[in-house]
Amino acid sequence: MATPPGDRPRPSANPIQPAKLLRSKWTAAVPVAREKHFIVTRVIEPDDPSMRPEWVEIEAVHSGRVQRIAWRALRDASVWRQGWV
């Protein structure tokens, strides 16, 4: 018997790739200061081109505030939801 779509548990990790982060949209699971929706505006490239990016800048849609976070933090589904929910 199949599980109804609304009853499926959310995965514990958001499957993301650093190459596809730019301009991706995210929703904070717990909004702070009315900031809920964010866009990745910059992927910060490391000095060594053989290394993978570690950091991204996200911009709050409501306030325009920009913050730098480790892109791997976006994988935590208890903090971030992919897309605008």
Structure tokens at 74: 């976006």
* Parent domain of 58: 19-82
Q: Is residue 11 part of a domain?
A: no
Q: Is residue 58 part of a domain?
A: yes
CATH number at residue 61: 2.40.10
Q: What does the pLDDT look like over 66-81, one tens digit per residue?
A: 999 999 999 999 999 9
Q: Which residues contact 67 (CB under 8 A, 6 or more apart)?
A: 57, 58, 60
Number of domains, the chain: 1
Query: What does the alpha-carbon distance between residue 18 and residue 60 come to, in Å, rounded to a whole number?
Result: 19
Q: What does the pLDDT look like over 11-31, one tens digit per residue?
A: 567 777 878 999 999 999 999
Q: What does the pLDDT look like over 31-61, one tens digit per residue?
A: 989 999 999 999 998 899 888 889 999 999 9
Q: Is residue 24 part of a domain?
A: yes
Structure tokens at 82: 């992919």
pTM of the model: 0.79
Q: Is residue 2 part of a domain?
A: no
